[in-house]
Amino acid sequence: MMDDTRKTIYDILKSLVVEFPTLKVYQQRPEVLESFPCITFNIESNIPTYTLDRGIGRQTIVVKVDIWTQSSNNGKDVLIEVENVLRNIDYLLTYNLDILDSSGIFHITTQFTY
């Protein structure tokens, strides 16, 4: 049986409100980002490996996590915590990029692989 990856990632990212009390977590980016910091995420890939008896062995999962903040330092702080909590459940940071946004919002896009 495949894991409920979406719920697992949502719950672990939502746990960051302890460090960032105003943090909002969305599975998809809302049309308007109303508060900061916020995180959007989606499952980019979830490919199972099958066992000889056609059961599901290991799943190879890629999760895209976007961090939206009003300052570069806050974005860095959120990224550090996101990497930490996802690494604790065996998702490893495999990509990250600062994206310039003309509106003044700081945006970091990342990928984590399991």
* Residue range 33-89, pLDDT digits in tens: 989 999 999 999 999 889 999 888 888 999 999 999 999 999 999 999 999 999 999
What's the pLDDT score for residue 10? Answer: 97
Whether 3 shows a pLDDT value over 80: the answer reads no
What's the pLDDT score for residue 112? Answer: 98
CATH of the domain at 45: 3.30.2000.10
User: What integer best gives the mean pLDDT of the chain?
Assistant: 94
Whether 13 shows a pLDDT value over 60: the answer reads yes
Cα distance between residue 43 and residue 15, in whole Å: 18
Cα distance between residue 34 and residue 16, in whole Å: 18
- The pTM score is 0.91
Going by C-alpha positions, the residue among 82, 74, 6 that lies closest to residue 44 is 6
Which burial class, exposed, middle or buried, applies to 83 when counting CB atoms under 10 A from its CB (0-12, 13-18, 19+)? middle
Joined tokens for residue 91: 């998702």
Cα distance between residue 39 and residue 79, in whole Å: 10
Number of domains making up the chain:
1
Q: Which domain holds residue 77?
A: 5-113
